[in-house]
Amino acid sequence: MIARAGARMALIAALVATCGGAGDAAAQPLDDPFPGVARGYVVAVDGVARWGFAVDMPLAPASLTKLMTALVVVEAKRAALERDDVTVSSRAAAAGGARLGLRAGEAMHAGDLLTAMLLRSANDACVALAEWTGGSEHAFVARMNARAAALGLADTHFVNACGFDAPGQQASARDLATLVHAFMAESTLAARARIESAVVRTRGGRSMRVANTNALLGRVPGVIGAKTGYTSRAGRCLAVVAERKGVRVVAVLLGAGDRWWDAAAMIERAFDAAR
């Protein structure tokens, strides 16, 4: 466990406790000032990896997968996202894990589905968006892998759009830090990633409030995104972005023991180092 250093760290720990408990390839090997915090992690300051452990090890990414899903959806459907409705298929409605509770045959605005996928990590919204964009989830995943290759994500491969545990569903911490950079460069994604809660509605009139699963938002100064994830195979995962005085810090943790406290400590140390 990371030693709590100073009053500021203690304050952050107390705040986080209330919510429950693009890297530079030349930077390898990286110092590891946070031993044992995760199966793999990386901390980057202004796009340069500063610290990490097993940064290039392919690991299960859980719902950090949805960073790529969202990026592919926005790049393919930028204009339609703000005007089109999406009809939910029976396959999307049957998606397990975190979900909105969408029903087969009902429609929702595409932008609301994107919001629900990013904030609540709703898998039914995720599959609906993948099918709408790619025609089928299988075809959409092919687009995800092509985009990963274009970004140079050598240790990343997807077999589903939402991050369900499956053989071959993998990403490294360094690759995900690069993906976070591309994700945050899209204004519609960056704007949604920092929303703490929102209301989404089906075209039939059902409304649902979705809360952001990123517990550091509003609790650690400067945090503006990006995504959380959990599965039994992946463990607790987090990709977090923070900005202060023109400095941007990205931390990615895969299989973390205490993602909230450890990520808060990483962010503080990174800003201290930048100063």
- Catalytic positions are 63, 66, 121
C-alpha–C-alpha distance, residues 200 and 190, integer Å: 18
Q: Greatest CA separation found in the chain?
A: 55
Check: CB of residue 23 under 8 Å from CB of residue 49: yes
